[in-house]
């Protein structure tokens, strides 16, 4: 065979196999998404409610077999008279807890339900594929496929209470409260808001919602904690941290703890601090009443102070529990109560 013909045949074979490979991988992804959707859709429900203005409609999902479900605060936080569409029927539901700081709410209906497994958002990376299942407008359950686009702490110049997952995934109205699933079908986040043109969205990491749920199991309410320290950017990085304590507020747990302004913050609980922004996540997972070990650098000396957290000022208002008669939700058998990291 002449070399020209051989080269042509080889290049033809290579091109064919490339196209075939692309089609095969696209089919595999499609098959994978379909599998996740079919497995998880049964536990995703449409939520109806009535707020002070009108009827509202959003999405939620079951997290245990006794009918406990997570949704966004915008759906389950300030409305009432909830009903859910489940298995082709409509069931009444009531609010168990709503927490504006995390942007989530917990509802409950008294019926046996399927439940979605809880995953770990910490395992996600930028470009990790994810699936969301929601109820857009008055349409049936709809899968959305996208990827993690970033881990944001601020949006339009304002800081979130904890890191939010930015997801390149098209959303529609009615999908607030939808579960964000990894490709194993585990919940890693809850859709809370959309970005420009609904082409992307923000999701609260599932750990934030689980923190609120564990607070409720322990205390009957969400208990955000704090110790009373202001942090800002230090002039230079020391021991890998640029978080300098600038103010120890009077009358707070930190005031008598021995921590001083000018100390460089290295660690809060199990969370290491490198930038002042890292305080947001560390702060969010502090529970009032728990003792928090705080490691600082003073000069060249590394010191650890154990400070008992108090209720966060943002939480010092009547708890947003709709029904005082429902003071507890059952723990999942395979889960443990979260403690302050």
Partner 1 sequence: MDEFNDNEIGKLLRLKRYEQPPPGYFENFLHEFHRRQRDELLREPLWRILLDRTQDFIFHLDVRSLTSYPAAIAAVLVCAAVISLKIYQEPGTANVAALQSGPALSTAVNAEGQWTLASPAATRIFRAQPLRSLNESADTHRAAIPPRYVLDSVPVSYESTFRF
Answer for which of 138, 301, 334, 336 binds partner 1 (CB under 8 A) is 138
Interface with partner 1: number of residues (CB under 8 A): 81
Contact 73, 105 (CB under 8 A): yes
Site for partner 1 in 246-275 (CB under 8 A): 249, 268
Closest distance between partner 1 and the C-beta of residue 81, in Å?
Answer: 4
**Does 73 contact partner 1 by CB under 8 A?**
yes
Q: Which is nearer to partner 1, 52 or 334 (CB)?
A: 52
User: Within 10 Å of residue 238's Cβ, how many Cβ atoms?
Assistant: 15
The region of 75-83, 121-129, 141-149, 333-341 touching partner 1 under the rule CB under 8 A is: 75-83
Instruction: Name the helix (H) or strand (E) containing 31.
Output: helix 3-40
**Does 173 contact partner 1 by CB under 8 A?**
yes
Site for partner 1 in 16-45 (CB under 8 A): none
Answer for which of 67, 146, 185, 341 binds partner 1 (CB under 8 A) is 67
Answer for which of 171, 241, 257, 295 binds partner 1 (CB under 8 A) is 171
Q: How many residues does the structure list for the chain?
A: 341
Question: Which pair of tokens denotes residue 302?
Answer: 């590394």
Q: Which is nearer to partner 1, 3 or 140 (CB)?
A: 140
**Does 159 contact partner 1 by CB under 8 A?**
yes
Answer for which of 119, 189, 205, 228 binds partner 1 (CB under 8 A) is 228
Gap between the Cα atoms of 61 and 59, Å rounded: 7
Site for partner 1 in 311-340 (CB under 8 A): 323, 325-326
The region of 120-128, 135-143, 214-222, 234-242 touching partner 1 under the rule CB under 8 A is: 135-143
Q: Which of 115, 117, 114, 113 is nearest to 186 (CA)?
A: 117
Q: How far is CA 201 from the centre of its chain?
A: 12
Answer for which of 75, 131, 206, 264 binds partner 1 (CB under 8 A) is 75
Gap between the Cα atoms of 249 and 60, Å rounded: 39
**Does 235 contact partner 1 by CB under 8 A?**
no
Q: Which is nearer to partner 1, 111 or 183 (CB)?
A: 111
Question: Which pair of tokens denotes residue 58?
Answer: 């959003």
Answer for which of 89, 235, 236, 318 binds partner 1 (CB under 8 A) is 89
Answer for which of 111, 255, 297, 320 binds partner 1 (CB under 8 A) is 111
Q: Which is nearer to partner 1, 20 or 159 (CB)?
A: 159
Give Dmax over CA atoms of the chain in angstroms: 90
Answer for which of 24, 35, 38, 55 binds partner 1 (CB under 8 A) is 55
User: Within 10 Å of residue 23's Cβ, how many Cβ atoms?
Assistant: 10
Q: Where are the extended beta strands (E) located within the chain?
A: 44-50, 55-62, 68-72, 80-86, 89-99, 104-108, 129-134, 142-155, 158-168, 179-181, 187-194, 201-205, 225-226, 229-238, 241-248, 264-268, 271-272, 291-298, 301-308, 310-311
The region of 3-11, 118-126, 133-141, 215-223 touching partner 1 under the rule CB under 8 A is: 133-141
Residue 327's contacts (CB-CB under 8 Å, 6 or more residues apart) are 220
Rg of the chain (C-alpha set): 24
Gap between the Cα atoms of 248 and 260, Å rounded: 7
Answer for which of 33, 106, 222, 229 binds partner 1 (CB under 8 A) is 229
The region of 31-39, 114-122, 169-177, 215-223 touching partner 1 under the rule CB under 8 A is: 169-177
Answer for which of 37, 48, 169, 315 binds partner 1 (CB under 8 A) is 48
Q: How far is CA 25 from the centre of its chain?
A: 30
The region of 20-28, 88-96, 125-133, 182-190 touching partner 1 under the rule CB under 8 A is: 88-96
């Amino acid at each position: 065979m002449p070399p020209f013909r051989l080269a042509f045949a080889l290049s033809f074979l290579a091109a064919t196999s490339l196209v075939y490979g692309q089609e095969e991988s696209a089919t595999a992804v499609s098959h994978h998404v379909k599998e996740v959707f079919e497995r998880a859709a049964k536990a995703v429900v449409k939520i109806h409610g009535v707020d002070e203005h009108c009827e509202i409609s959003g999405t939620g999902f079951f997290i245990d077999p006794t009918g406990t479900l997570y949704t966004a605060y915008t759906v389950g936080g300030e409305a009432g008279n909830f009903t859910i569409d489940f298995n082709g029927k409509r069931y009444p539901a009531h609010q168990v807890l709503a927490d504006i700081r995390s942007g989530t709410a917990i509802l409950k209906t008294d019926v046996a339900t399927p439940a979605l497994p809880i995953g770990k958002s910490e395992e996600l990376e930028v470009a990790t594929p994810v699936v969301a299942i929601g109820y857009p407008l008055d349409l049936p359950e709809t899968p959305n496929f996208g990827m993690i686009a970033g881990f944001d702490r601020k949006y339009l110049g304002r800081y979130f209470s904890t890191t939010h997952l930015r997801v390149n995934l098209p959303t529609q109205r009615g999908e607030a409260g939808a579960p964000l699933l990894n490709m194993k079908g585990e919940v890693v986040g809850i859709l809370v808001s959309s970005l420009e043109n609904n082409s992307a969205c923000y999701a609260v990491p599932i750990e934030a919602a689980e923190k609120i749920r564990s607070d409720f199991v322990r205390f009957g309410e969400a208990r955000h904690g704090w110790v009373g320290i202001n942090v800002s950017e230090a002039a230079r990085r020391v021991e890998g941290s640029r978080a300098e304590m600038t103010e120890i507020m009077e009358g707070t747990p930190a005031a008598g703890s021995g921590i001083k302004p000018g100390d460089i913050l290295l660690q809060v609980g199990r969370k290491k601090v490198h930038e002042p922004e890292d305080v947001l996540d560390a702060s969010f997972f502090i529970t009032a009443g728990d003792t928090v070990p705080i490691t600082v650098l003073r000069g060249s000396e590394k010191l650890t102070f154990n400070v008992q957290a108090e209720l966060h000022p943002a939480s010092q208002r009547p708890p947003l529990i709709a029904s005082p008669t429902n003071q507890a939700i059952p723990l999942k058998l395979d889960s443990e109560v979260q403690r302050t990291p």
